[in-house]
Amino acid sequence: MQTPREILTDLWTSVGGGASALDRVTQTGDEPQLPSSFRVAAAAQASVAAAGMAAANIWQLRSGQSQDVAVDMRHAVVECRSERYLRVDGKPPGPAWDAIAGIYKTGDGRFVRLHTNFRHHRDAVCKVLNCKAERDEVQAALMQWDGEAFETAAYAGGCVVALMRSHEEWLALPHAKALAELPPVRIEKIGEAAPKPWPKGDRPLAGVRVLDLSRVIAGPVAGRTLAVHGADVMLISSPNLPAIPWLTIDTGRGKLTSFADLKTGQGRDVLRGLLAEADIFSQGYRPASIAALGFSPEDAAKVSPGIVYVSLSAYGHAGPSTSPWANRRGFDSLVQTATGFNHAEGQAAGIDGPKELPAQMLDHATGYFMAFGAMMAKARQSREGGSWHVRVSLAQTGRWLWNLGRAADGFKTEDLKAESVSPFIEEIPSGFGPLRSVRHSAKLSKTPASWTRPAMPLGSHPAQWPARD
């Protein structure tokens, strides 16, 4: 298996990073850190470190100064569970899941996972199953279905579900075979534009304007990471879209937040106005839906030549045109289920059924990959010009994590106790009350990472960029 340094080296060089930058990076800590048969701690450290290196690289481009980057493995894996450790005014998170979310058996003896944290997804499941939103009724209804037939019908009905597959079953799908040809982070030039000069500032991303159109964890973590290095990150949400409040608070640190309903002409005009002056556009919509609104990568490059456009999807953009997977909705828990992680963890733990990873590692690592790719593309834009498209997906991050190898005795490791986590917690103000939250785990020697804006309720700020120095 690769060492943590080799994992980071492969990530860094895969997008054109110079090997000499690795000489300034220190990785501390040992595996394993959490009970799992997968190398979640190594994945956490490498993904955070890659983003930290990209920020240091930009600072060198802007100032001529190189700096050291250090990432502790335990701190990184704690940050990749940041939503668990958040406290608002001393209070812990409420229930993480809707009452009918989770694992069920189907009539053919398979397992399916339902994601129903948003009301419209729950209503869609109950409509397909023709039952009430109660666990016993959902289970009874699913016993009338074969697992794969339910998955297909559920997606057609607007649900967000997954059939539990073994990794071998997943790899046999044409879509998975197409993903095997892609790197974890893909950067492509999509248009011509002059190089943009760096604005003034004393941090790697000072004055860099980022539009964040994402929800839940992966995309918001990307925006939070860009903000921790000084970017002006504007989270755009709709007053008519549901949100998960606890995640909004945790990932909202460092961001501005405004409303724009993209289903209205006025909302789209607001977004175009912001886009015209933006440097990075980060979004987690399904490809067809964002294009239908007029904000495809190519559309964005016309509105804002020189843009770095970051696309997040659940299952990746590759695959045959007949594949149903490229446009499927998905969350970390569902991608874990569909691609073999739950099956493999269950086997390794001696459980007859699914077992989740001990962190939403696909979400968090993908968020750091998004930030990493965005910064590397922004650095290229400053040197070469052009507009750029960065693509990542939860499934592709999953493939990367799987290929890091397995820990034979991973479940002999105890989970982290409170005293192991407390060194990484900071207390900061917010628009929700005092927060106890996880500090960023990448330490930069000359431009320390920090959030200078508090997390605020959605829609708290006007839809306009702050002035640049």
**Spans of all domains in the chain:** 1-469
Three-state DSSP class for 310? strand
Beta bridge mates, 213? 283
Please name the helix (run of DSSP H) or strand (run of DSSP E) that holds residue 7, with its range, or none.
helix 4-14
For the entire predicted model, the pTM comes to: 0.96
DSSP string, 61-85: HHHS----EEEEHHHHHHHTTHHHH
Between CA 374 and CA 185 the distance in angstroms is 10
32 prior amide bond cis, ω within 30 = yes
Please state, in angstroms and rounded to a whole number, the distance separating the CA atoms of residues 369 and 349.
29
**The pLDDT value given to residue 320:** 63
Nearest C-alpha neighbor of 301 from the set 188, 200, 192: 192
Judge contact between 82 and 365, C-beta under 8 A. Answer: no
Written as one letter, the residue type at 18 is G
- Compute the radius of gyration of the chain from its Cα atoms: 21
Structure tokens at 429: 């103000």
Token code pair at residue 418: 């409170």
From the list 9, 407, 29, 55, the residue with the least C-alpha distance to 231 is 55
pLDDT at 261: 94
Q: Is 115 helix (H, G, I), strand (E, B) or coil?
A: coil
Helix (H) or strand (E) holding 236: strand 232-237
pLDDT tens over the chain, length 469 residues: 999 999 999 999 999 999 999 999 999 999 999 999 999 999 999 999 999 999 999 999 999 999 999 999 999 999 999 999 999 999 987 777 788 899 999 999 999 999 888 888 899 999 999 999 999 999 999 999 999 999 999 988 988 999 999 999 999 998 999 888 899 999 999 999 999 999 999 999 999 999 999 988 999 999 999 999 999 999 999 988 878 889 999 999 999 999 999 999 999 999 999 999 999 999 998 777 888 999 999 999 999 999 999 999 999 887 666 567 877 878 889 999 999 999 999 999 999 899 999 999 999 999 999 999 999 999 999 999 999 999 999 999 999 999 999 998 999 999 999 999 999 999 999 999 999 999 999 999 999 999 999 999 999 999 999 998 7
CA proximity to 11, closest of 241, 183, 230, 228:
183
Nearest alpha carbon to residue 301 among 283, 282, 276, 320: 276
Q: Measure CA of the first residue to CA of the last residue in the chain; give whole Å.
A: 48
CATH number for the segment(s) 1-469: 3.40.50.10540
Helix, strand or coil, per DSSP, at residue 135: helix
Say if CB 336 and CB 398 are below 8 A apart.
yes
Specify whether the CB–CB gap between 260 and 463 falls below 8 A.
Answer: yes
| Per-residue H/E/C for 239-268 | CCCCCCHHHHHHHCCCEEEEECCCCCHHHH
SS3 content of the chain, % helix, strand, coil (to 5): 40, 15, 40
Asked whether the beta carbons of 157 and 127 are under 8 A apart, the reply is: yes
pLDDT at 181: 85
Contact 59, 446 (CB under 8 A): yes
Alpha carbon distance 98, 264 (integer Å): 30
Beta bridge partners of 6: none
- In whole angstroms, give the CA distance from residue 25 to residue 444: 9
Q: Which of 121, 12, 4 is nearest to 379 (CA)?
A: 12
pLDDT value at residue 116: 85
